[in-house]
């Protein structure tokens, strides 16, 4: 299978399923057997997923991508062994990050809901014009790209976390803020926006927000 088919969704699903690390192997850059050069798509998805993991408080080093040819069996063994030792040193997912298992799962599932949105953002605003390892590194590690990603993803993640929380029960602004570690003013702002989009409604009698049933 071409590494370009390793979608962000697959990676987040693996972590949400309890995997402590994810290793992606692809053919050498600029030596792809297909005109699509899918390994560059894999590289892009890796950079984006690392940024997502960082936002969730998960060590981005739990995800790695390496490029090599089919003849590099020894290199593959070395890289996978190295990665295995690295993940063992980090411990179970969330342990070295100081996160509880249920917290990690909750945030990963909230992030998974944003994958279609992130695909659209990548195509429209995070697409690297030149296919080279240096160009991808310079672009995705630049201050401009980090600032853009933070602005776009932070807002959407906060709303996704709130919506996921409201699936358990209607909650007040204060309760949502306390459970998710957000400012009440930010929760109110997100709820006003979500109300306009028909996602939530305010229950005046219960003085809380609840999901709008489809």
Q: How far is CA 5 from CA 11, 24, 25, 40, 120, in A?
A: 11, 11, 12, 11, 16
Which CATH number fits the domain 169-214, given the four candidates 1.10.10.10, 3.40.50.620, 1.10.10.60, 3.40.50.2030?
1.10.10.10
Asked if 168 and 117 touch (Cβ cutoff 8 Å), the reply is no
- Give the mean model confidence (pLDDT) for residues 87-94: 97
Place of tokens 């979500």: 194
Sorted by where each begins, the domain ranges of the chain are: 3-158, 169-214
Whole-number pLDDT of residue 204: 93
Angle made by CA atoms 201, 121, 212, in degrees to the nearest 5: 15
- What tokens were used for 139? 């672009």
- What tokens were used for 23? 């290793």
Is the pLDDT at 34 greater than 80, yes or no?
A: no
**What pTM does this model have?**
0.92
The number of beta carbons lying within 10 Å of the beta carbon of residue 197 is: 9
Q: How far is CA 206 from CA 98, 146, 179, 192, in A?
A: 35, 40, 18, 17
Read off the pLDDT of residues 169-192 as tens digits, 9 standing for 90 and up: 999 999 999 999 999 999 999 999
- Give the mean model confidence (pLDDT) for residues 114-135: 92
Is the pLDDT at 214 greater than 70, yes or no?
A: no
Q: Which long-range contacts (CB under 8 A, 24 or more apart) does 178-187 make?
A: 182/158, 186/158, 187/162
């Amino acid at each position: 299978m071409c590494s370009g088919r390793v979608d962000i969704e697959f990676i987040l699903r693996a972590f949400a399923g309890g995997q402590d690390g994810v290793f992606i192997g692809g053919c050498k850059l600029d030596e792809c057997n297909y005109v699509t050069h899918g390994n560059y798509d894999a590289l892009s998805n890796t950079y984006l997923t690392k940024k997502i993991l960082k936002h969730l408080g998960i060590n981005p080093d739990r995800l790695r991508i390496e490029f090599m040819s089919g003849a590099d069996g020894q290199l593959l063994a070395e890289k996978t062994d190295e990665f295995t030792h690295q993940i063992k040193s980090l411990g179970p997912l969330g342990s070295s990050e100081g996160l509880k298992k249920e917290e990690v799962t909750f945030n990963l599932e909230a992030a998974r809901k944003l994958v279609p949105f992130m695909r659209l953002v990548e195509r429209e605003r995070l697409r690297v014009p030149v296919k080279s390892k240096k160009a991808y590194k310079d672009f995705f590690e630049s201050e401009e790209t980090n600032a853009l990603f933070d602005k776009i993803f932070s807002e959407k993640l906060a709303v996704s976390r709130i919506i996921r929380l409201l699936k358990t029960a209607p909650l007040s602004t204060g309760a949502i803020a306390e459970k998710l570690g957000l400012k009440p003013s930010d929760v109110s702002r997100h709820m006003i926006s979500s109300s306009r989009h028909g996602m939530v409604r305010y229950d005046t009698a219960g003085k809380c927000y609840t999901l709008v049933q489809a």
